[in-house]
Chains A and B, each alone.
Chain A
Amino acid sequence: MHDPKNKFRIPMGPQHPALKEPEGFSVALKGEKILGVEIRLGYNHRGIEKACEQRSYVQDVYLIERICGICSHTHSTCFVQAVEEIAGLIVPERAQYIRTIIGELERIHSHLLWLGVAGHEIGFDTLLMYSWRDREIVMDILAQVTGNRVNYGMNTIGGVRRDISKDQAADVLKAMDLLEERTKYYIEIATQETTIIKRLKGVGVLSHEDALRLDAVGPTGRASGVRRDVRADDPYAAYGKLNFDVITSNHNDVYGRTLVRVKELMESYKMIRQALKDIPDGPITVKAPRNIPAGEALSRYEAPRGEDVHYVLANGTDKPERVKVRAPTLANVQAVKHMLRDRFLADMPIVIAAIDPCFSCTDRMVSLNEEDHSHLLRWDELRAYSIKWHRDNMSIDFSGLNKKLMDRIK
Protein backbone atom coordinates (compact mmCIF):
# COMPACT_ATOMS: atom_id res chain seq x y z
CA MET A 1 0.00 0.00 0.00
CA HIS A 2 1.37 3.40 -0.88
CA ASP A 3 1.25 6.18 1.64
CA PRO A 4 1.37 9.85 0.53
CA LYS A 5 4.21 10.54 2.99
CA ASN A 6 6.49 8.27 0.97
CA LYS A 7 5.93 5.35 3.33
CA PHE A 8 5.12 1.81 2.37
CA ARG A 9 3.16 -0.50 4.58
CA ILE A 10 4.00 -4.14 3.89
CA PRO A 11 2.05 -7.01 5.37
CA MET A 12 4.20 -10.01 6.38
CA GLY A 13 2.37 -13.08 7.55
CA PRO A 14 0.50 -14.72 9.11
CA GLN A 15 1.74 -17.18 6.46
CA HIS A 16 5.03 -16.06 5.01
CA PRO A 17 8.17 -17.82 3.78
CA ALA A 18 10.37 -15.91 6.24
CA LEU A 19 8.28 -16.85 9.27
CA LYS A 20 8.19 -20.28 10.82
CA GLU A 21 4.97 -19.66 12.70
CA PRO A 22 1.69 -17.87 12.08
CA GLU A 23 2.06 -14.29 13.23
CA GLY A 24 1.23 -11.12 11.36
CA PHE A 25 3.55 -8.15 10.96
CA SER A 26 2.53 -4.92 9.37
CA VAL A 27 5.77 -3.12 8.57
CA ALA A 28 5.93 0.59 7.75
CA LEU A 29 8.90 1.16 5.48
CA LYS A 30 10.75 4.11 4.03
CA GLY A 31 13.03 2.58 1.44
CA GLU A 32 14.66 -0.36 3.17
CA LYS A 33 14.31 1.18 6.61
CA ILE A 34 11.66 0.01 9.06
CA LEU A 35 9.76 2.96 10.57
CA GLY A 36 7.53 0.88 12.80
CA VAL A 37 6.01 -2.55 13.17
CA GLU A 38 2.59 -3.66 14.27
CA ILE A 39 2.33 -7.26 15.42
CA ARG A 40 -0.81 -9.37 15.27
CA LEU A 41 -0.72 -12.51 17.36
CA GLY A 42 -3.32 -15.07 18.29
CA TYR A 43 -3.34 -17.31 15.21
CA ASN A 44 -2.35 -20.21 17.42
CA HIS A 45 -4.90 -19.52 20.16
CA ARG A 46 -6.48 -22.87 20.98
CA GLY A 47 -8.45 -22.03 24.11
CA ILE A 48 -6.32 -24.28 26.31
CA GLU A 49 -6.93 -22.22 29.48
CA LYS A 50 -10.69 -22.63 29.08
CA ALA A 51 -10.29 -26.32 28.20
CA CYS A 52 -8.28 -26.84 31.41
CA GLU A 53 -11.25 -25.69 33.50
CA GLN A 54 -13.34 -28.48 32.01
CA ARG A 55 -10.86 -31.29 32.57
CA SER A 56 -9.40 -32.98 35.63
CA TYR A 57 -5.96 -32.02 36.92
CA VAL A 58 -4.41 -35.22 35.57
CA GLN A 59 -5.91 -34.66 32.12
CA ASP A 60 -4.65 -31.08 32.24
CA VAL A 61 -1.06 -32.26 32.71
CA TYR A 62 -1.22 -33.86 29.25
CA LEU A 63 -3.16 -31.01 27.67
CA ILE A 64 -0.73 -28.41 29.02
CA GLU A 65 2.24 -30.44 27.85
CA ARG A 66 0.88 -29.85 24.33
CA ILE A 67 0.95 -26.06 24.54
CA CYS A 68 4.34 -26.20 22.90
CA GLY A 69 6.06 -28.90 20.88
CA ILE A 70 9.50 -27.79 22.03
CA CYS A 71 9.07 -26.70 25.66
CA SER A 72 6.56 -29.42 26.52
CA HIS A 73 8.35 -30.49 29.72
CA THR A 74 8.58 -26.80 30.64
CA HIS A 75 4.83 -26.32 30.67
CA SER A 76 3.93 -29.58 32.36
CA THR A 77 6.53 -29.04 35.11
CA CYS A 78 5.42 -25.46 35.68
CA PHE A 79 1.79 -26.61 36.00
CA VAL A 80 2.35 -29.61 38.28
CA GLN A 81 4.54 -27.49 40.56
CA ALA A 82 1.65 -25.10 41.12
CA VAL A 83 -0.82 -27.94 41.77
CA GLU A 84 1.60 -29.71 44.13
CA GLU A 85 2.07 -26.48 46.07
CA ILE A 86 -1.69 -26.07 46.53
CA ALA A 87 -2.13 -29.72 47.54
CA GLY A 88 0.82 -29.50 49.94
CA LEU A 89 2.59 -32.46 48.32
CA ILE A 90 6.24 -33.07 49.07
CA VAL A 91 7.68 -34.33 45.81
CA PRO A 92 10.44 -36.97 46.31
CA GLU A 93 13.93 -35.66 45.72
CA ARG A 94 14.68 -38.24 43.05
CA ALA A 95 11.69 -36.97 41.05
CA GLN A 96 12.96 -33.39 41.42
CA TYR A 97 16.31 -34.44 39.96
CA ILE A 98 14.68 -36.33 37.08
CA ARG A 99 12.56 -33.26 36.25
CA THR A 100 15.72 -31.17 36.22
CA ILE A 101 17.61 -33.59 33.97
CA ILE A 102 14.76 -33.77 31.44
CA GLY A 103 14.41 -29.98 31.62
CA GLU A 104 18.06 -29.48 30.74
CA LEU A 105 17.95 -32.11 27.96
CA GLU A 106 14.99 -30.16 26.58
CA ARG A 107 16.99 -26.92 26.75
CA ILE A 108 19.85 -28.59 24.84
CA HIS A 109 17.57 -29.73 22.02
CA SER A 110 15.85 -26.35 21.93
CA HIS A 111 19.09 -24.32 21.81
CA LEU A 112 20.62 -26.59 19.14
CA LEU A 113 17.43 -26.24 17.13
CA TRP A 114 17.65 -22.47 17.50
CA LEU A 115 21.27 -22.44 16.37
CA GLY A 116 20.25 -24.22 13.18
CA VAL A 117 17.35 -21.84 12.55
CA ALA A 118 19.63 -18.84 13.13
CA GLY A 119 22.14 -20.29 10.67
CA HIS A 120 19.39 -20.81 8.12
CA GLU A 121 18.03 -17.27 8.52
CA ILE A 122 21.42 -15.76 7.66
CA GLY A 123 22.03 -18.13 4.76
CA PHE A 124 24.54 -20.27 6.65
CA ASP A 125 22.81 -23.57 6.02
CA THR A 126 25.88 -25.65 6.80
CA LEU A 127 25.41 -24.60 10.41
CA LEU A 128 21.77 -25.72 10.20
CA MET A 129 22.80 -29.15 8.88
CA TYR A 130 25.52 -29.58 11.50
CA SER A 131 23.57 -28.43 14.55
CA TRP A 132 20.42 -30.34 13.62
CA ARG A 133 22.44 -33.47 13.05
CA ASP A 134 23.97 -33.03 16.50
CA ARG A 135 20.55 -32.30 17.95
CA GLU A 136 19.58 -35.84 16.99
CA ILE A 137 21.99 -37.07 19.68
CA VAL A 138 19.91 -35.42 22.40
CA MET A 139 16.63 -36.33 20.67
CA ASP A 140 17.67 -39.99 20.75
CA ILE A 141 18.55 -39.69 24.43
CA LEU A 142 15.17 -38.10 25.19
CA ALA A 143 13.42 -40.84 23.23
CA GLN A 144 15.40 -43.49 25.09
CA VAL A 145 14.76 -42.08 28.56
CA THR A 146 11.16 -40.89 28.16
CA GLY A 147 9.88 -42.89 25.20
CA ASN A 148 9.20 -39.77 23.14
CA ARG A 149 11.08 -37.18 21.13
CA VAL A 150 8.68 -34.46 22.25
CA ASN A 151 5.77 -34.40 24.75
CA TYR A 152 7.71 -36.67 27.07
CA GLY A 153 4.86 -37.48 29.46
CA MET A 154 7.34 -37.62 32.34
CA ASN A 155 5.44 -35.47 34.81
CA THR A 156 2.52 -36.36 36.94
CA ILE A 157 1.10 -34.61 39.97
CA GLY A 158 3.34 -35.70 42.83
CA GLY A 159 6.43 -36.72 40.87
CA VAL A 160 7.53 -38.34 37.62
CA ARG A 161 6.23 -41.41 35.79
CA ARG A 162 9.51 -43.01 34.74
CA ASP A 163 12.78 -43.56 36.52
CA ILE A 164 16.19 -43.18 34.92
CA SER A 165 18.07 -46.48 35.00
CA LYS A 166 21.84 -46.83 35.50
CA ASP A 167 22.27 -47.85 31.85
CA GLN A 168 20.27 -44.87 30.67
CA ALA A 169 22.31 -42.55 32.90
CA ALA A 170 25.51 -43.93 31.35
CA ASP A 171 24.15 -43.26 27.86
CA VAL A 172 23.14 -39.72 28.85
CA LEU A 173 26.68 -39.05 30.10
CA LYS A 174 28.19 -40.40 26.87
CA ALA A 175 25.89 -38.14 24.87
CA MET A 176 26.91 -35.16 27.02
CA ASP A 177 30.59 -35.75 26.16
CA LEU A 178 29.78 -35.92 22.49
CA LEU A 179 27.62 -32.80 22.59
CA GLU A 180 30.13 -30.87 24.65
CA GLU A 181 32.75 -31.56 22.02
CA ARG A 182 30.39 -30.30 19.32
CA THR A 183 29.36 -27.25 21.34
CA LYS A 184 33.01 -26.25 21.81
CA TYR A 185 33.22 -26.24 18.04
CA TYR A 186 30.11 -24.02 17.81
CA ILE A 187 31.55 -21.62 20.36
CA GLU A 188 34.68 -21.51 18.23
CA ILE A 189 32.57 -20.73 15.15
CA ALA A 190 30.53 -18.09 16.98
CA THR A 191 33.59 -16.32 18.31
CA GLN A 192 35.92 -16.66 15.30
CA GLU A 193 33.92 -17.06 12.11
CA THR A 194 33.88 -13.60 10.49
CA THR A 195 30.71 -14.24 8.46
CA ILE A 196 28.69 -14.88 11.62
CA ILE A 197 30.21 -12.05 13.61
CA LYS A 198 29.74 -9.49 10.81
CA ARG A 199 26.19 -10.62 10.05
CA LEU A 200 24.97 -10.66 13.65
CA LYS A 201 26.81 -7.84 15.40
CA GLY A 202 24.82 -4.64 15.74
CA VAL A 203 21.66 -6.35 14.43
CA GLY A 204 18.47 -6.35 16.51
CA VAL A 205 19.91 -4.05 19.16
CA LEU A 206 18.21 -4.00 22.57
CA SER A 207 20.03 -1.86 25.10
CA HIS A 208 20.31 -2.95 28.73
CA GLU A 209 17.92 -0.19 29.82
CA ASP A 210 15.36 -1.12 27.14
CA ALA A 211 15.58 -4.81 28.03
CA LEU A 212 14.74 -3.93 31.63
CA ARG A 213 12.04 -1.44 30.68
CA LEU A 214 10.37 -3.82 28.20
CA ASP A 215 10.67 -6.82 30.55
CA ALA A 216 12.61 -9.02 28.12
CA VAL A 217 13.06 -12.55 29.47
CA GLY A 218 15.43 -15.47 28.92
CA PRO A 219 18.42 -15.34 26.57
CA THR A 220 16.90 -12.22 24.95
CA GLY A 221 17.23 -10.32 28.25
CA ARG A 222 20.46 -12.00 29.35
CA ALA A 223 22.16 -10.99 26.07
CA SER A 224 21.44 -7.38 27.10
CA GLY A 225 23.12 -7.88 30.44
CA VAL A 226 19.93 -8.64 32.42
CA ARG A 227 21.04 -11.22 34.97
CA ARG A 228 17.67 -12.92 35.41
CA ASP A 229 17.22 -16.67 35.39
CA VAL A 230 14.43 -18.38 37.34
CA ARG A 231 16.67 -21.41 37.92
CA ALA A 232 19.00 -19.22 39.98
CA ASP A 233 16.62 -16.54 41.34
CA ASP A 234 13.58 -18.62 42.29
CA PRO A 235 14.96 -22.18 42.27
CA TYR A 236 12.59 -25.08 41.63
CA ALA A 237 13.08 -28.85 41.15
CA ALA A 238 16.75 -29.62 41.97
CA TYR A 239 18.27 -26.35 40.72
CA GLY A 240 18.87 -25.07 44.24
CA LYS A 241 21.41 -27.87 44.71
CA LEU A 242 23.26 -27.51 41.41
CA ASN A 243 26.26 -25.32 40.63
CA PHE A 244 25.92 -23.34 37.45
CA ASP A 245 26.56 -19.87 36.08
CA VAL A 246 23.92 -17.54 34.70
CA ILE A 247 25.31 -16.65 31.28
CA THR A 248 24.98 -13.02 30.24
CA SER A 249 26.47 -10.89 27.50
CA ASN A 250 26.77 -7.15 26.99
CA HIS A 251 26.63 -7.26 23.22
CA ASN A 252 22.93 -6.33 23.31
CA ASP A 253 22.31 -7.77 19.83
CA VAL A 254 21.64 -10.99 17.91
CA TYR A 255 25.33 -11.85 18.25
CA GLY A 256 25.04 -11.65 22.03
CA ARG A 257 21.91 -13.83 21.96
CA THR A 258 23.87 -16.44 19.98
CA LEU A 259 26.77 -16.41 22.47
CA VAL A 260 24.41 -16.69 25.46
CA ARG A 261 22.67 -19.73 23.98
CA VAL A 262 25.78 -21.66 22.96
CA LYS A 263 27.39 -20.98 26.35
CA GLU A 264 24.20 -22.02 28.14
CA LEU A 265 24.55 -25.38 26.42
CA MET A 266 27.85 -25.88 28.27
CA GLU A 267 26.11 -25.07 31.57
CA SER A 268 23.38 -27.61 30.78
CA TYR A 269 25.96 -30.39 30.26
CA LYS A 270 27.55 -29.43 33.58
CA MET A 271 24.19 -29.48 35.38
CA ILE A 272 23.16 -32.86 33.92
CA ARG A 273 26.50 -34.43 34.95
CA GLN A 274 26.16 -33.11 38.49
CA ALA A 275 22.50 -34.12 38.73
CA LEU A 276 23.27 -37.68 37.58
CA LYS A 277 26.11 -37.87 40.12
CA ASP A 278 24.10 -36.48 43.04
CA ILE A 279 20.67 -38.01 42.32
CA PRO A 280 19.50 -39.81 45.47
CA ASP A 281 17.80 -43.21 45.46
CA GLY A 282 14.21 -43.44 46.52
CA PRO A 283 10.65 -43.19 45.26
CA ILE A 284 9.83 -41.11 42.20
CA THR A 285 6.28 -40.17 43.09
CA VAL A 286 3.89 -39.58 45.97
CA LYS A 287 0.19 -40.24 45.77
CA ALA A 288 -1.78 -37.14 44.85
CA PRO A 289 -5.43 -36.64 45.87
CA ARG A 290 -8.03 -36.62 43.11
CA ASN A 291 -9.61 -33.46 44.49
CA ILE A 292 -7.20 -30.61 45.03
CA PRO A 293 -8.04 -28.44 48.07
CA ALA A 294 -9.02 -24.81 47.48
CA GLY A 295 -6.06 -22.50 47.09
CA GLU A 296 -3.87 -20.68 44.62
CA ALA A 297 -0.24 -20.84 43.52
CA LEU A 298 2.05 -19.13 41.09
CA SER A 299 4.78 -21.26 39.55
CA ARG A 300 7.73 -20.10 37.49
CA TYR A 301 10.10 -22.09 35.25
CA GLU A 302 13.08 -21.04 33.16
CA ALA A 303 12.11 -22.31 29.71
CA PRO A 304 14.74 -22.36 26.95
CA ARG A 305 13.17 -19.09 25.77
CA GLY A 306 12.83 -17.47 29.19
CA GLU A 307 10.51 -17.23 32.13
CA ASP A 308 7.35 -19.34 31.90
CA VAL A 309 4.57 -18.48 34.37
CA HIS A 310 1.60 -20.60 35.43
CA TYR A 311 -1.07 -19.50 37.89
CA VAL A 312 -3.50 -22.12 39.19
CA LEU A 313 -6.62 -21.49 41.29
CA ALA A 314 -8.15 -24.60 42.88
CA ASN A 315 -11.70 -24.84 44.22
CA GLY A 316 -11.62 -28.16 46.06
CA THR A 317 -12.89 -30.29 43.17
CA ASP A 318 -10.99 -32.47 40.68
CA LYS A 319 -10.99 -29.64 38.12
CA PRO A 320 -9.16 -26.32 38.43
CA GLU A 321 -11.16 -23.11 38.71
CA ARG A 322 -8.62 -21.29 36.59
CA VAL A 323 -5.31 -21.97 34.88
CA LYS A 324 -3.34 -19.05 33.51
CA VAL A 325 -0.28 -19.53 31.32
CA ARG A 326 2.18 -16.89 30.18
CA ALA A 327 4.82 -18.32 27.87
CA PRO A 328 8.11 -16.46 27.38
CA THR A 329 7.57 -15.39 23.77
CA LEU A 330 4.63 -13.20 24.82
CA ALA A 331 6.90 -11.34 27.23
CA ASN A 332 9.41 -10.64 24.44
CA VAL A 333 6.95 -9.22 21.90
CA GLN A 334 7.46 -5.58 22.89
CA ALA A 335 11.22 -6.07 22.76
CA VAL A 336 11.00 -7.36 19.16
CA LYS A 337 9.03 -4.29 18.09
CA HIS A 338 11.71 -2.13 19.60
CA MET A 339 14.59 -4.10 18.01
CA LEU A 340 13.13 -3.71 14.53
CA ARG A 341 12.52 0.04 14.61
CA ASP A 342 14.94 2.05 12.37
CA ARG A 343 16.60 -1.15 11.17
CA PHE A 344 16.63 -2.75 7.73
CA LEU A 345 13.90 -4.99 6.38
CA ALA A 346 16.52 -7.61 5.47
CA ASP A 347 17.33 -8.05 9.17
CA MET A 348 13.76 -8.89 10.11
CA PRO A 349 13.90 -12.70 9.80
CA ILE A 350 17.01 -13.08 11.97
CA VAL A 351 15.87 -10.47 14.52
CA ILE A 352 12.55 -12.27 14.98
CA ALA A 353 14.26 -15.65 15.05
CA ALA A 354 16.72 -14.38 17.65
CA ILE A 355 14.08 -14.31 20.40
CA ASP A 356 13.47 -17.94 19.43
CA PRO A 357 9.72 -18.00 18.93
CA CYS A 358 8.37 -21.56 19.15
CA PHE A 359 7.41 -23.99 16.43
CA SER A 360 6.30 -27.53 16.70
CA CYS A 361 8.00 -30.71 15.63
CA THR A 362 6.99 -34.27 16.18
CA ASP A 363 6.75 -37.61 14.30
CA ARG A 364 8.42 -40.63 15.66
CA MET A 365 6.75 -43.56 13.92
CA VAL A 366 5.67 -43.85 10.31
CA SER A 367 3.45 -46.32 8.59
CA LEU A 368 4.76 -47.37 5.18
CA ASN A 369 2.45 -48.64 2.49
CA GLU A 370 4.28 -51.12 0.35
CA GLU A 371 2.24 -52.50 -2.52
CA ASP A 372 -0.83 -53.91 -0.84
CA HIS A 373 0.45 -54.36 2.66
CA SER A 374 1.61 -51.91 5.27
CA HIS A 375 3.91 -52.40 8.20
CA LEU A 376 5.09 -50.45 11.21
CA LEU A 377 8.70 -49.47 11.70
CA ARG A 378 10.47 -49.42 15.02
CA TRP A 379 12.50 -46.32 15.82
CA ASP A 380 15.88 -47.92 15.02
CA GLU A 381 14.49 -49.42 11.81
CA LEU A 382 13.15 -46.03 10.74
CA ARG A 383 16.53 -44.49 11.41
CA ALA A 384 18.41 -47.17 9.47
CA TYR A 385 15.87 -46.87 6.61
CA SER A 386 16.31 -43.11 6.49
CA ILE A 387 20.11 -43.29 6.45
CA LYS A 388 20.05 -45.96 3.72
CA TRP A 389 17.49 -44.05 1.63
CA HIS A 390 19.56 -40.87 1.70
CA ARG A 391 22.73 -42.79 0.86
CA ASP A 392 21.16 -44.67 -2.06
CA ASN A 393 18.98 -41.93 -3.50
CA MET A 394 20.68 -38.67 -2.58
CA SER A 395 24.30 -39.82 -2.19
CA ILE A 396 24.33 -38.31 1.31
CA ASP A 397 26.57 -40.25 3.64
CA PHE A 398 27.55 -39.06 7.10
CA SER A 399 29.10 -42.31 8.30
CA GLY A 400 32.68 -41.10 7.74
CA LEU A 401 31.99 -37.83 9.54
CA ASN A 402 30.30 -39.62 12.43
CA LYS A 403 33.25 -41.98 12.77
CA LYS A 404 35.65 -39.04 12.83
CA LEU A 405 33.59 -37.42 15.55
CA MET A 406 33.47 -40.58 17.64
CA ASP A 407 37.24 -41.05 17.25
CA ARG A 408 37.83 -37.50 18.44
CA ILE A 409 36.12 -38.00 21.77
CA LYS A 410 37.59 -41.41 22.50
Chain B
Amino acid sequence: MKKVEALRDELVKNFSFLDGKIGIPRPRRVFVEVGQDKFEEVFVWAKDKQDFSHLCTITGLDENDRLILIYHLAHDSGVLLNIRTSVPKSDPRIKSIIKYFPGAEIYERELEDLFGAKVEGLPEGNRYPLTDEWPKDEHPLLKDWKPKSA
Protein backbone atom coordinates (compact mmCIF):
# COMPACT_ATOMS: atom_id res chain seq x y z
CA MET B 1 0.00 0.00 0.00
CA LYS B 2 1.35 3.37 -1.00
CA LYS B 3 1.36 5.84 1.87
CA VAL B 4 -0.13 9.20 0.99
CA GLU B 5 1.97 10.99 3.62
CA ALA B 6 5.15 9.54 2.08
CA LEU B 7 3.93 10.69 -1.33
CA ARG B 8 3.37 14.19 0.02
CA ASP B 9 6.91 14.27 1.45
CA GLU B 10 8.37 13.03 -1.84
CA LEU B 11 6.44 15.67 -3.76
CA VAL B 12 7.76 18.46 -1.51
CA LYS B 13 11.30 17.05 -1.59
CA ASN B 14 11.37 17.02 -5.39
CA PHE B 15 9.30 20.15 -5.99
CA SER B 16 9.80 22.62 -3.15
CA PHE B 17 7.26 25.03 -4.70
CA LEU B 18 4.50 22.52 -3.84
CA ASP B 19 4.99 23.01 -0.10
CA GLY B 20 1.59 23.91 1.38
CA LYS B 21 -0.24 23.16 -1.86
CA ILE B 22 -0.94 19.49 -1.18
CA GLY B 23 -4.25 18.37 0.29
CA ILE B 24 -5.08 14.92 1.68
CA PRO B 25 -8.85 15.03 2.33
CA ARG B 26 -9.10 11.30 3.09
CA PRO B 27 -7.08 8.09 2.84
CA ARG B 28 -5.96 7.33 -0.72
CA ARG B 29 -6.73 10.81 -2.06
CA VAL B 30 -4.12 13.50 -2.76
CA PHE B 31 -4.88 16.84 -4.40
CA VAL B 32 -2.03 19.05 -5.57
CA GLU B 33 -2.00 22.39 -7.37
CA VAL B 34 0.71 23.10 -9.95
CA GLY B 35 1.33 26.07 -12.25
CA GLN B 36 1.07 25.39 -15.97
CA ASP B 37 4.86 25.94 -16.37
CA LYS B 38 5.74 23.10 -13.97
CA PHE B 39 2.79 20.84 -14.75
CA GLU B 40 4.46 18.49 -17.22
CA GLU B 41 7.47 18.01 -14.95
CA VAL B 42 5.32 16.98 -11.95
CA PHE B 43 2.99 14.89 -14.13
CA VAL B 44 5.81 12.88 -15.75
CA TRP B 45 7.52 12.44 -12.37
CA ALA B 46 4.34 11.01 -10.88
CA LYS B 47 3.89 8.67 -13.82
CA ASP B 48 7.49 7.46 -14.20
CA LYS B 49 8.95 7.73 -10.71
CA GLN B 50 5.89 7.04 -8.55
CA ASP B 51 4.11 4.50 -10.80
CA PHE B 52 0.88 6.42 -11.24
CA SER B 53 0.32 4.34 -14.35
CA HIS B 54 -3.40 4.87 -14.94
CA LEU B 55 -5.10 8.08 -16.03
CA CYS B 56 -8.71 7.99 -14.79
CA THR B 57 -9.79 11.08 -16.69
CA ILE B 58 -9.27 14.83 -17.02
CA THR B 59 -11.84 17.17 -15.44
CA GLY B 60 -12.36 20.69 -16.74
CA LEU B 61 -13.73 23.49 -14.54
CA ASP B 62 -14.77 27.02 -15.38
CA GLU B 63 -13.64 29.25 -12.52
CA ASN B 64 -14.05 32.99 -13.21
CA ASP B 65 -11.40 33.90 -15.78
CA ARG B 66 -9.43 30.66 -15.44
CA LEU B 67 -9.94 27.27 -17.01
CA ILE B 68 -8.99 24.66 -14.41
CA LEU B 69 -7.83 21.20 -15.44
CA ILE B 70 -7.59 18.31 -13.02
CA TYR B 71 -5.64 15.26 -14.13
CA HIS B 72 -6.74 12.27 -12.07
CA LEU B 73 -3.94 9.70 -11.86
CA ALA B 74 -4.33 6.33 -10.16
CA HIS B 75 -1.78 4.04 -8.54
CA ASP B 76 -2.39 0.28 -8.45
CA SER B 77 -2.59 0.49 -4.65
CA GLY B 78 -5.74 2.61 -4.96
CA VAL B 79 -4.14 6.01 -4.26
CA LEU B 80 -5.36 8.80 -6.51
CA LEU B 81 -3.21 11.80 -7.28
CA ASN B 82 -5.26 14.73 -8.57
CA ILE B 83 -3.02 17.29 -10.24
CA ARG B 84 -4.75 20.62 -10.65
CA THR B 85 -3.45 23.21 -13.07
CA SER B 86 -5.01 26.18 -14.85
CA VAL B 87 -4.79 28.45 -17.89
CA PRO B 88 -6.44 31.81 -18.56
CA LYS B 89 -9.73 31.48 -20.44
CA SER B 90 -8.52 34.21 -22.80
CA ASP B 91 -5.65 31.96 -23.92
CA PRO B 92 -6.69 28.38 -23.06
CA ARG B 93 -3.73 26.55 -24.62
CA ILE B 94 -2.64 23.29 -23.01
CA LYS B 95 -0.24 20.60 -24.17
CA SER B 96 -1.61 17.20 -25.10
CA ILE B 97 -0.57 14.31 -22.87
CA ILE B 98 -1.31 11.56 -25.40
CA LYS B 99 2.40 10.73 -25.67
CA TYR B 100 2.19 9.61 -22.03
CA PHE B 101 -1.37 8.25 -22.07
CA PRO B 102 -2.76 7.51 -25.57
CA GLY B 103 -6.18 6.96 -23.99
CA ALA B 104 -6.29 10.66 -23.04
CA GLU B 105 -7.17 11.61 -26.62
CA ILE B 106 -10.93 11.39 -26.06
CA TYR B 107 -10.70 13.31 -22.74
CA GLU B 108 -8.77 16.13 -24.44
CA ARG B 109 -11.25 16.34 -27.30
CA GLU B 110 -13.98 16.61 -24.68
CA LEU B 111 -12.13 19.57 -23.10
CA GLU B 112 -11.95 21.23 -26.52
CA ASP B 113 -15.65 20.81 -27.22
CA LEU B 114 -17.14 21.51 -23.82
CA PHE B 115 -14.68 24.09 -22.42
CA GLY B 116 -12.97 25.56 -25.49
CA ALA B 117 -9.49 24.40 -24.48
CA LYS B 118 -6.91 24.52 -27.26
CA VAL B 119 -5.00 21.27 -26.96
CA GLU B 120 -1.64 21.43 -28.74
CA GLY B 121 -0.37 18.15 -30.17
CA LEU B 122 -3.71 16.36 -30.74
CA PRO B 123 -3.81 14.59 -34.10
CA GLU B 124 -6.59 15.35 -36.59
CA GLY B 125 -9.74 13.43 -35.82
CA ASN B 126 -13.43 13.48 -35.05
CA ARG B 127 -14.65 15.91 -32.44
CA TYR B 128 -16.22 14.61 -29.22
CA PRO B 129 -18.92 14.74 -27.94
CA LEU B 130 -20.76 17.51 -29.84
CA THR B 131 -22.22 17.19 -33.32
CA ASP B 132 -20.33 18.30 -36.44
CA GLU B 133 -22.77 21.18 -36.98
CA TRP B 134 -22.31 22.57 -33.46
CA PRO B 135 -20.76 26.09 -33.63
CA LYS B 136 -17.01 25.97 -33.01
CA ASP B 137 -17.11 28.89 -30.55
CA GLU B 138 -19.88 27.58 -28.27
CA HIS B 139 -18.76 25.53 -25.30
CA PRO B 140 -21.70 24.34 -23.21
CA LEU B 141 -19.91 23.64 -19.93
CA LEU B 142 -18.67 27.22 -19.61
CA LYS B 143 -20.72 28.92 -16.89
CA ASP B 144 -21.94 31.78 -19.08
CA TRP B 145 -23.23 29.45 -21.79
CA LYS B 146 -27.00 29.14 -21.84
CA PRO B 147 -29.07 27.01 -24.20
CA LYS B 148 -30.75 29.16 -26.88
CA SER B 149 -34.18 27.81 -26.09
CA ALA B 150 -33.91 28.77 -22.41
A311 and B101 in contact (CB under 8 A), knowing A326-B57, A333-B106? no
Name A259-310 residues within 8 Å CB distance of B. 295-298, 300, 307, 309
- Residue B61 interfacial (CB < 8 Å): yes
CB pair B59 A39 closer than 8 Å: no
A215 and B130 in contact (CB under 8 A), knowing A233-B78, A234-B80? no
SS of B interface (majority): mixed
Q: How far is the CA of A297 from the CA of B126 in the complex (A)?
A: 31
A41 and B25 in contact (CB under 8 A), knowing A50-B141, A233-B77, A333-B106? no
Q: How far is the CA of A80 from the CA of B82 in the complex (A)?
A: 20
SS of A interface (majority): mixed
Name B30-87 residues within 8 Å CB distance of A. 31, 53-57, 59-61, 70, 72, 74, 76-78, 80, 82
CB pair A234 B28 closer than 8 Å: yes
Select the residue from A41, A42, A300 with max chain B CB neighbours within 10 A: A42
Partner of B106, one of A41, A212, A227, A322: A41
CB pair A324 B130 closer than 8 Å: no
Chain A interface size, as a band, is 35 or more
Q: A9-41: contact bitstring with B at CB < 8 Å (1 yes, 0 no)?
A: 000000000000000100000000000001111
Partner of A300, one of B31, B56, B59: B56
CB pair B26 A85 closer than 8 Å: yes
A233 and B76 in contact (CB under 8 A), knowing A298-B82, A309-B56? yes
- Give the distance to chain A from B107, nearest Cβ to Cβ, in Å: 8
CB pair A213 B102 closer than 8 Å: yes
A228 and B57 in contact (CB under 8 A), knowing A41-B129, A234-B80, A334-B102? no
Partner of B140, one of A40, A50, A330, A333: A50
Task: List A contacts of B140 (CB < 8 A).
Answer: 47, 50
Q: How far is the CA of A254 from the CA of B41 in the complex (A)?
A: 38
Partner of B57, one of A45, A227, A296, A324: A324
Chain B interface size, as a band, is 35 or more
Partner of A85, one of B25, B53, B131: B25
CB pair A298 B72 closer than 8 Å: yes
Q: A221-236: contact bitstring with B at CB < 8 Å (1 yes, 0 no)?
A: 0000001101001110
Partner of B130, one of A45, A214, A234: A45
CB pair B130 A307 closer than 8 Å: no
CB pair A311 B126 closer than 8 Å: no
- Residue A358 interfacial (CB < 8 Å): no
CB pair A228 B76 closer than 8 Å: yes
- Residue A313 interfacial (CB < 8 Å): yes
CB pair B76 A334 closer than 8 Å: no
* Chain B interface residues toward A at CB < 8 A: 25-26, 28-29, 31, 53-57, 59-61, 70, 72, 74, 76-78, 80, 82, 101-103, 105-107, 114, 125-131, 140-141
* Chain A interface residues toward B at CB < 8 A: 24, 38-42, 45, 47, 49-50, 85, 212-215, 227-228, 230, 233-235, 295-298, 300, 307, 309, 311, 313, 321-322, 324, 326, 330-331, 333-335
Q: List 9 additional A-B contacts (Cβ < 8 Å) besides A42-B128, A330-B57.
A: A24-B126, A214-B102, A227-B76, A233-B78, A234-B74, A297-B29, A311-B72, A326-B107, A333-B106
